[in-house]
Amino acid sequence: MDELNRRRYLDAMGISLWQRRDLEFAPIPESSGEVDGRAAGPVGTEVETAEQPPLSSGNDTVEQMDWPLLRDAVRNCQSCELRAGCTQTVFGVGSTEADLLVIGEAPGADEDRQGEPFVGRAGQLLNAMLLAMGYKRESVFIANIVKCRPPNNRDPKPEEALSCEPYLKRQIELIQPRLILAVGRIAAQNLLRTDITVGKLRGRLHHLGDRQIPLVVTYHPAYLLRSPEQKAKSWQDLQLALSTLRSAEV
Ligand code: URA
């Protein structure tokens, strides 16, 4: 992407006025308990997330599924109480050969209506963030920790995240992304099996599962809409993701 376009997309993210283009990534230690666009979560105890166990093995059948079977399984899933309260499942969208896999929390009202993740205001900001990195939305894959909308936009319960996990795990296996971008607290904490805050998880590289897939945590776009002063840090995270993706190319 040329510099003019990158600046346009940074404009769309709302960070061009004060973002130094040569800003180097540096981890920023934080103690605040800031969270993504949903409810405040537990303040974490420090654990070494890189050494956490991989995602649990889940359901053997799901582990063997191809894309059409997996889509059907998600569509027909009744494993937790969320399905009864949502309009439709939200499987995920994008390229099944994507280098970059974005994982959010759960469908909201717009996503529940349209059957696609990140289509509301937060989704528009996510699209701008991706474009600032040089990725069109359709060239990445976007999924959530849970495929059904929790009632009243509450956080997914741990047991709901767990029952949906085999689907996400299979999506990761089928895509084999070079990098996972976890947006927000729910995504980061569920993937990394930790209760450390996003503020402490962001700004450094993690690795997920047996394949040790590089994983970068950043703020949820809904949180960034409410706290635009955090966009500079998020841009640093996106730059870390980009440099990791580039180093994986060689
Ligand atoms: N927030 C998320 O985490 N995921 C969506 O799909 C929409 C909003």
Atom of ligand 1 nearest to the CA of 122: 8
Query: Which residue from 144, 147, 164 has its CB within 8 A of the most atoms of ligand 1, so it is best to mutate?
Result: 144
Task: Return the C-alpha torsion angle 163, 164, 165, 169, nearest 10.
Answer: 140
pLDDT tens for residues 211-221? 999 999 999 99
What pLDDT was estimated at residue 248?
A: 76
pLDDT tens for residues 52-98? 444 444 456 999 999 999 999 999 999 999 999 999 999 999 999 99
The model scores a pTM over 0.95? no
Q: Which ranges of the chain would DSSP assign to H, the alpha helix?
A: 3-13, 60-64, 67-75, 82-85, 109-114, 121-133, 158-175, 185-192, 198-201, 221-226, 231-249
100 Cβ contact partners less than 8 Å away, ≥ 6 residues apart: 130, 133, 135, 139, 140, 141, 177, 178, 179, 180, 181, 241, 245
Ligand 1 pocket check for 111: Cβ under 6 Å: yes
What pLDDT was estimated at residue 218?
A: 98
CATH class of 3-13+44-249: alpha beta
Ligand 1 pocket check for 118: Cβ under 6 Å: yes
Ligand 1 pocket check for 155: Cβ under 6 Å: no
pLDDT tens for residues 124-167? 999 999 999 999 999 999 999 999 999 999 999 999 999 999 99
Cβ–Cβ under 8 Å, residues 191 and 181 = no
Q: What is the helix (H) or strand (E) element at residue 144, kind and residue range? A: strand 141-144
As a whole number, the mean pLDDT across the chain is: 85
